[in-house]
Structure 1
Amino acid sequence: MSGAKDSETFGRRLREAVRARGPLVVGVDPHETLLRDWGLADDPAGLRSFSLRVLEACAEHACALKPQSAFFERHGAAGIDALEELLALARERGLLTVLDVKRGDIGSTMAGYADAYLRPGAPLEADAITLSPYLGFGSLAPALELAAEHGKGVFVLALTSNPDGPEVQHAVTAEGTAIARAVAESAGERNLAELSATGAEDEHGWGSTGLVVGATVGAAPAELGIDLAATRAPLLAPGFGAQGAGPRERDEVFGPAAERVLVSISRGVLAAGPATAALEARTRELAAAYAVPSAG
């Protein structure tokens, strides 16, 4: 498998970030209500102030930031400018970014999305993006290949925390396999190939093709026959904090894969604002609460 050397892979960089700062991923979700609660205008200037405060507060205690692109896009070009600035400043601080865009298309369109977010030097360059595989896992190939080439990562939707997710994710293929399981196994195949090519085949290696698996999905992975540990995927897990999941759910839902869970929290951190000191204290508190004995 072509791609970056082990020292340059996203999986390796992410694993090191989790070891250094813990598994907390802070969502940057500047929706209208939250901006108002922070005393900020719902405009590009408000977005910029919001984003920079979150970055400043979280840079030392989170392994990554996860900006939700939609809240920036709704402000047009000026909102995208604010997102570009946030991504660039996080990169300068050495903080990984997962841009939540959930892109999923085919052919040259998928290649265009990949180029927009995963190409080094692109205005919206991030370390990883979220992808939707529901036009077929193979449709993601342009993004997967560009990510591998440049040491970037992706997180593919597998078992999401929204209540309507099972309508598609639990459905079965013509071969009788749950779609979520097929997605997870496809990601696992890529990760095993990457780890083999980079000489990181030991049991603690992290691949660069991650999965989005909600912390509130209960026994679904086991019921669908999904061996999350075998995928070697980092697991971006929404559902913690305001949605009800905590450290116990991490252990119960993810089992042997719990050390690769990225605890994604937005409201649970952002509600502590607008003061930077309060945001930093909440981030430090949550990072400690979700610390694991070993990050693998």
Structure 2
Amino acid sequence: MTDDPTSPGPGSHAAPQRFGLRLTEALGRHGPVCVGLDPHRELMQDWGLPDTAAGVAEFCSVVLDAAAGRCAAVKPQSAFFERHGAAGVAVLEDVLRGCRDRGLLTVLDVKRGDIGSTMAGYAQAYLDDDAPLAADAVTLSPYLGYGALRPALDLARSTGRGVFVLVRTSNPEGGQVQSAGRPSVAQQLLQEVGADNAGQAPCGDVGVVVGATLDPAAEGLDLAGSLAPVLAPGVGAQGADEHDVVRAFGGAAGRVLVPVSRGVLREGPEGVASALERWTRRLAGALGDG
């Protein structure tokens, strides 16, 4: 068996299953929770672990064991691994491999965005079958132009992977750029995403990042029509809850992935599993009722 579940088996020439379909299946089995892996310095101290690559590896092992079978996906924040240099990146490689071994989808939060051969290099780093840092999906920044993301979009499609494009983020500063213009930058980006997802019902492979603290409909964002999977940060520490998720994303309920980091990780190593179960009940119940 190959190390990467998106790759065809030995002697097989079958195309890999699309990310959007794999995500839909995972959401149906486990609900919308995506546990964020954010091993920052303060959290490591709270867990009683050294703020080193070895400490991060121990932290991640505990969280992944708790996440297996309890949530749809894991979202490692690359910055918290990169700050430990080569040793930290090696831990990230192990984390991505560990997720595959446990049947967990990965959304690698790298927010890359560039042009030409540099964008192609980022794509090869995270979306190529043979890449040590290959993930099921990555986050991308489109603010050098959506078309500049094409190397990543094309490689993701050919390898059965996905991307999540920053469209309308949960941080207060985001609106200055993302809501500018008529139509807004966010609306134009969503139109581009929808064009790439055309014909990929029930769920496309090009997703969007839209904050759960916002009101997408009030901003003219047609999430349902875009067929885009939605990565919806802002739940928990940023103030949004399951009712905000339903209000914002009820029309795309089967395609919503909700990252929860601090609300789970602050429970410590003994409480991660039960915290994941609580958030899954809250979010899945609310979206089901919505």
Task: Give the structure-1-normalised TM-score.
Answer: 0.90
Q: Distance in 1 between matches of 2:63 and 2:288?
A: 27
Aligned residue in 1 for 2:88:
79
Q: Distance in 2 between matches of 1:274 and 1:91?
A: 21
One-letter amino acid of the counterpart of residue 146, structure 2: F
Q: Distance in 2 between matches of 1:7 and 1:191?
A: 17
Q: 2:30 aligns with which of 7, 10, 21?
A: 21
One-letter amino acid of the counterpart of residue 225, structure 2: A
Give the Å deviation of 1:90.
0.5
Matches within 5 A, 1:163-178: 163-172=172-181, 176-178=182-184
One-letter amino acid of the counterpart of residue 214, structure 1: G
Per-residue CA deviations over 1:102-142 (Å, capped at 9, x if unaligned) read 00000000000000000012110100000000000000000
Matches within 5 A, 1:61-100: 61-100=70-109
One-letter amino acid of the counterpart of residue 271, structure 1: R
Q: Distance in 2 between matches of 1:274 and 1:37?
A: 10
Contact 1:6-1:12 at 8 Å conserved across structures = no
RMSD (CA atoms):
1.7
Query: Could you tell me the percent identity over the aligned residues?
Result: 53
Q: Distance in 2 between matches of 1:47 and 1:255?
A: 36
Give the Å deviation of 1:181.
0.5
Aligned residue in 1 for 2:210:
213
Contact 1:259-1:294 at 8 Å conserved across structures = no
One-letter amino acid of the counterpart of residue 191, structure 2: E
The answer to whether structure 1 residue 271 and structure 2 residue 277 are counterparts is no
Aligned residue in 1 for 2:276:
283
Name the SS for the 1:41 alignment partner: coil
Task: Give the structure-2-normalised TM-score.
Answer: 0.92
Aligned positions, number: 276
Per-residue CA deviations over 1:47-79 (Å, capped at 9, x if unaligned) read 100111110011111100000000000000000
Contact 1:213-1:236 at 8 Å conserved across structures = yes
One-letter amino acid of the counterpart of residue 159, structure 1: R
The answer to whether structure 1 residue 246 and structure 2 residue 246 are counterparts is no
Aligned residue in 2 for 1:107:
116
| Residue ranges of structure 1 left out of the alignment (5+ in a row) | 196-200
Name the SS for the 1:291 alignment partner: helix
| Residue ranges of structure 2 left out of the alignment (5+ in a row) | 1-7, 9-13
Q: 2:153 aligns with which of 103, 125, 144?
A: 144
Q: List 4+ stretches of structure 1 deviating above 4 A.
A: 4-7, 292-295
Aligned residue in 2 for 1:198:
none
Aligned residue in 2 for 1:11:
20
Q: Distance in 2 between matches of 1:187 and 1:214?
A: 17
Q: Distance in 1 between matches of 2:98 and 2:30?
A: 18
Contact 1:155-1:212 at 8 Å conserved across structures = yes
Aligned residue in 2 for 1:120:
129
Matches within 5 A, 1:41-56: 41-56=50-65
